[in-house]
Amino acid sequence: MKIKSKILFMLLAMILVFISGCAEDKKQIVLNQSGNISSYEFEVFLNEWNNKVPANTTTYYLLEDTTTVQVVNLEINCSKLAIYPPESLGGGSAENPIKNFVLLAEPANETLAEPANETLAEPSNETLTEPVNETLTEPVNETSALTRTLEELSHRNVTSDLNYTLTQEISKNMKVLNLEFEEPVTGFVAYTLVVPKTQNFVFMKPDSEFIRVILPPGYDTGNRIFGIAQPTPSNVSFDEKGRKNLLWISSNMGERDEAIQVKYYSQSAPLLFLGAIMALLIGVGLVLFYYARSKRELESVKGIFELEREYEKKHHKRK
């Protein structure tokens, strides 16, 4: 009986330790203040490779101050969103993992129900001459309705009043924030991350089909001396503001590509570097020129001394 009691006591102690550890690792985060909608760009990104339909997209806007990054998620029928704060990869603040949180979304079951049926034609007894187009009507209407809904959400000036919970836990030895909704939603989720003050942005690959990084105006990447993006983006383009846009497609990335790194630099950096190299070469050339000139002068002086010595030797011999 004593052995059984000891075993039971040990099991209870292990269960208590496990429960207390889980309670410490997972905690709820309360965001008291609503964010500023006007500080973000809400763009309805369309899948150019699939009939230009809206797609789940995570966009990172890098700012010129290099201390904050704005993140805008376009989510379709989303019930849970994982957010990896910068401290997961060696930066950021544990007290304020995210700030300026903005939610512009609607329940997913309401975003398509009404608009999708608006353009459906009434049944008719007439003979259909082109039955092939009949199968395309509803999907096209659903896509256009979804696009209209997202466009409407992107122009709202009031945040959505939806119930959600934000918790922080440890997953795979990294801190992760889990944003969970009571029911699936469609729309935009935006927040700001505080990152180390460097021009080297590293982040975990989000659970989105499309991943975008927008560089600040006047900045570039792709020069192996100054910095590149790894893995290589699927597409590189420029927007109307002249900013460089990097795009990754999750389905085209390898299984080992769990993180994305973007090293960027000022567009004038290569020119300034070239100017510095040219100035250095000119300086080296001037030093070599003056060295050669001084060497010739010393050799000429040395030659004069040798002539004087020979002259003195001949003069002493004559005496």
In the prediction, which pLDDT does 174 show? 82
In the prediction, which pLDDT does 91 show? 46
In the prediction, which pLDDT does 121 show? 39
For tokens 């029928």, the residue is 77
In the prediction, which pLDDT does 92 show? 46
> Got the DSSP string for the chain?
-HHHHHHHHHHHHHHHHHHHHHHHH-EE----S---GGGS-----EETTTTTEE--EEEEEE-TTSSEEEEEEEEEEEEEEEE--GGGGT-S-SS-S-EEEEEEEEEHHHHTTTHHHHTPPPP--SPPS-GGGGGGHHHHHHHHHHHHHHHHHHT-SS-----EEEEEEEETTEEEEEEEEEEEEEEEEEEEEE--SSSEEEEEPPS-SEEEEEPPTTEE--BTTTB-EESPPSEEEE-TTS-EEEEEEGGGS-TT--EEEEE-EETTHHHHHHHHHHHHHHHHHHHHHHHHHHHHHHHHHHHHHHHHHHHHHHHHHH-
In the prediction, which pLDDT does 69 show? 94
Per-residue pLDDT of the chain (319 residues; tens, 9 = 90+): 556 565 665 666 565 544 444 444 678 888 877 789 999 999 999 888 777 889 999 999 999 988 899 999 999 999 999 998 876 554 445 566 789 999 999 998 876 544 333 333 343 444 434 443 444 444 556 678 899 999 999 999 999 999 999 998 887 778 899 999 999 999 999 999 988 888 999 999 999 999 999 999 999 999 999 999 999 999 999 999 999 999 999 989 988 888 999 999 999 887 876 777 888 888 888 888 888 888 777 777 777 777 777 777 776 666 5
pTM: 0.74
